[in-house]
Amino acid sequence: MKTIIENETSESLYIFDDSKIINILDSKMTVGEPVELMVLDCNSTSVSLVENVNPPEDWEGRKYTFDGTTWTVTQEWIDANTEEAPPE
């Protein structure tokens, strides 16, 4: 698997299968050939590609940071499926 890591926070934003072609350019990131996904806020300054990763089974975007070896749940993570709505 491959993950896209936000450079500033080390948060894992995306997970892709090894076969997916990822291009991180100066102005955007593209996924697939032909392009299946274009992400304008991910570029060569803001994100990095890490290959040969084994993400946690409960992986969700921004739930984990990854330092190249260890996956860690972010302190700010709130599971939207279990969080109660705030009182009105």
Write down the pLDDT at residue 64.
97
User: Per-residue pLDDT averaged across 27-55, rounded?
Assistant: 97
Tens of pLDDT, residue by residue over 3-34, are: 999 999 999 999 999 999 999 999 999 999 99
For β-strands 12-16 and 47-51, DSSP reports them as: unpaired
Look at residue 82 and tell me whether its pLDDT is greater than 90: no
Residue ranges covered by each domain of the chain = 2-54
Write down the pLDDT at residue 88.
53
Question: What angle (nearest 5°) sits at the alpha carbon of residue 28, between those of residues 11 and 26?
Answer: 100
